[in-house]
Amino acid sequence: MPHRVFNFSAGPATLPAPVLRQAQAELLDWHGLGVSVAEISHRSAPFIELAAEAEADLRTLLSVPDDYAVLFMQGGATLQQALIPLNFAAPGQAADYLVTGHWGQTALKQARPCVDARVAASGAESGFREVPARGEWRLSGDAAYLHVTANETIHGVELRERIEADAPVFADFSSSIASEPVEVRDYGLIYAGAQKNLGPSGIAVVIIRRALLARAGQPRAEILAYASHAARDSMLNTPPTFNWYLLGLCLKWMLAEGGVEAFGQRNAARAARLYAAIDGSGGFYRNEVAPAVRSRMNVPFFLHAAELDAEFLRQAGERQLIGLKGHKVVGGMRASLYNALPDAAVDALIDFMREFQKTHG
Ligand code: PMP
């Protein structure tokens, strides 16, 4: 058995071991073709079959209705943040943004050059520890869409309420897609970079209500048009074929593990265990996010004295617990608990935290 550590990285993140083993076994000779999947044309029948199967599996996993298109795109989640205004808003049209953390701010920044991007509400005043109450949101009557971040990967803030608005809701699900059942019909568009819950970096998934593809949007090259990608099954140009393959293997793994219902239960239970350990530490560890919006996927936490951070990370590393350093925007620690992370990793982290407190408390 190769050496594998417990990897709490926020993304690119841990991948399921069975997926890596399969990819390794198939690397020199995929499907008896005598070549790897990375060495064949995306227009070849075996690759087109792989792509269609990945789409079908994603539709099954996330219960995507038929009137939604599924796209596999390059350029990550950030590119989608830039494409959204170009594709769905007229030049200068209003678009509303609910800003609940760093990635909501990024989405707003990407949109500013081509729409009248308005902050419907922002958690900035609370240091992104809270989500402004629905009654405080200022939604524009003429907004092309309302953009939200389902899960803020850095600030550890997750929207837990169903969002209702007159404008279609466009949601960044990069760090929580497939972590629990979601009603796709509640959204006009869902997008996610794959590198957290779906697979490797270099590919993003976009789920769009087909009727929205008829919007004129803004002058743009064909490669920037979602409708063109949809019309050509995401093969307008050479797609990231190997990433698509790995993503497909991850989808099959998630389905075999019981799908989003099973992950939803598992993820809620283990996030609750970790938060309970933090809250029960008598202030040695703390998470400052309002309990109602604490993320199940990304748990930022602080030690009571920042001088202990380096020692905490060093000792964690000795126990094969890696990727725990917090993002520089907030500091401290962050444990990302994506689907492919084993339960044993969370238990090992909690055990280590208790022990570290005993020796440094
Ligand atoms: N949105 C969220 C919620 C993210 O976590 C990230 C990446 N960490 C991004 C957007 C940006 O993704 P990418 O690097 O794929 O552009």
**Which tens digit of pLDDT belongs to each residue from 154-189?**
999 999 999 999 999 999 999 999 999 999 999 999
Structurally, how many domains does the chain consist of? 2
* Confidence tier at 361 by pLDDT (50, 70, 90): confident
What is the rounded distance in angstroms from the CA atom of residue 219 to the CA atom of residue 160?
36
What is the rounded distance in angstroms from the CA atom of residue 286 to the CA atom of residue 332?
10
Identify whether residues 236 and 315 lie together within a single domain: no
Ligand 1 centroid distance, CA of 204 (Å)? 10
**Does the Cβ of 158 fall within 6 Å of ligand 1?**
no
Query: What does the block give as tokens for 89?
Result: 């808003």
**DSSP for 41-77, written as a single string:** -TTSHHHHHHHHHHHHHHHHHHT--TTEEEEEESSHH
Q: Is the pLDDT of residue 1 over 90?
A: no
pLDDT at 2: 77
Q: Which residues of 19-37 are buried (b: 16+ CB within 10 A; e: fewer)?
A: bbebbeeeeeebeeeeebb
Identify whether residues 194 and 297 lie together within a single domain: no
Q: Is residue 30 marked as binding?
A: no
Segment 295-315 mean pLDDT:
98
By alpha-carbon position, which residue is closest to atom 9 of ligand 1? 77
E strand or H helix that includes residue 94: strand 94-99
What's the domain range around 142? 17-257
Q: Does residue 64 sit within a domain?
A: yes
What is the rounded distance in angstroms from the CA atom of residue 310 to the CA atom of residue 324?
11
Q: Does residue 70 sit within a domain?
A: yes
* Confidence tier at 95 by pLDDT (50, 70, 90): very high
Q: Domain end: 211, 231, 257, which one?
A: 257
Please say whether the beta carbons of 312 and 349 come within 8 A.
Answer: no
Q: Does residue 4 sit within a domain?
A: no
Question: Where residue 347 sits, what CATH number does that domain have?
Answer: 3.90.1150.10
What is the rounded distance in angstroms from the CA atom of residue 77 to the CA atom of residue 328?
20
What is the rounded distance in angstroms from the CA atom of residue 80 to the CA atom of residue 82?
5
By alpha-carbon position, which residue is closest to atom 5 of ligand 1? 153
**Does the Cβ of 153 fall within 6 Å of ligand 1?**
yes
Q: Does residue 2 sit within a domain?
A: no
Query: What does the block give as tokens for 221?
Result: 């090259």
Q: Is the pLDDT of residue 109 over 90?
A: yes
Ligand 1 nearest atom to the CA of residue 11, by list position: 8
Ligand 1 centroid distance, CA of 174 (Å)? 6
Size of the chain, expressed as the number of residues it contains: 361
Q: Does residue 323 sit within a domain?
A: yes
Rounded to the nearest 10°, the torsion over CA 309, 313, 318, 322 is: 170
Segment 74-102 mean pLDDT:
97
Ligand 1 centroid distance, CA of 47 (Å)? 27
Identify whether residues 128 and 45 lie together within a single domain: yes
Identify whether residues 241 and 263 lie together within a single domain: no
* Confidence tier at 226 by pLDDT (50, 70, 90): very high
Question: Where residue 240 sits, what CATH number does that domain have?
Answer: 3.40.640.10
Identify whether residues 253 and 267 lie together within a single domain: no
Identify whether residues 124 and 159 lie together within a single domain: yes
Q: Domain end: 204, 224, 257, which one?
A: 257
**Distance, CA of 292 to chain centre:** 20
Q: Is residue 265 marked as binding?
A: no
Ligand 1 centroid distance, CA of 79 (Å)? 10
Q: At what angle do helices 241-256 and 17-26 cross, to 10 degrees?
A: 130
**Does the Cβ of 76 fall within 6 Å of ligand 1?**
yes
Identify whether residues 246 and 354 lie together within a single domain: no
pLDDT at 29: 98
* Residues above pLDDT 90, as percent of the chain: 99
Q: 10 Å Cβ neighbour count for 56? A: 14
**Does the Cβ of 77 fall within 6 Å of ligand 1?**
yes
Query: What does the block give as tokens for 234?
Result: 């995401």
Identify whether residues 120 and 159 lie together within a single domain: yes
Q: Does residue 156 sit within a domain?
A: yes
Identify whether residues 315 and 236 lie together within a single domain: no
Ligand 1 centroid distance, CA of 77 (Å)? 5
Identify whether residues 239 and 356 lie together within a single domain: no
From 148, 153, 159, 296, the mutation candidate for ligand 1 (largest count of ligand atoms within 8 A of CB) is 153
CA distance readout (Å), 132 to 155, 288, 293, 301, 338 = 15, 15, 11, 22, 26
Segment 20-40 mean pLDDT:
98
pLDDT at 88: 98
pLDDT at 292: 97
Please say whether the beta carbons of 203 and 190 come within 8 A.
Answer: no
Q: Is residue 77 marked as binding?
A: yes
pLDDT at 190: 98
Q: Domain end: 239, 257, 275, which one?
A: 257
In degrees, to the nearest 5, what angle opens at C-alpha 198 toward C-alphas 197 and 202? 115
Q: Which residues of 166-195 are buried (b: 16+ CB within 10 A; e: fewer)?
A: ebbbbbbbbbbbbbbebebeebbbbbbbbb
Q: Does residue 71 sit within a domain?
A: yes
Q: Is residue 93 marked as binding?
A: no
Q: Is residue 43 marked as binding?
A: yes
Ligand 1 centroid distance, CA of 193 (Å)? 6
CA distance readout (Å), 129 to 61, 192, 298 = 31, 23, 13
From 74, 78, 158, the mutation candidate for ligand 1 (largest count of ligand atoms within 8 A of CB) is 78
Which amino acids are annotated catalytic?
103, 172, 196
Identify whether residues 206 and 303 lie together within a single domain: no
Express each pLDDT in 234-290 by its tens digit: 999 999 999 999 999 999 999 999 999 999 999 999 999 999 999 999 999 999 999
Say which amino acid occupies 35: V
Identify whether residues 127 and 185 lie together within a single domain: yes
**Does the Cβ of 74 fall within 6 Å of ligand 1?**
no
Q: Does residue 32 sit within a domain?
A: yes
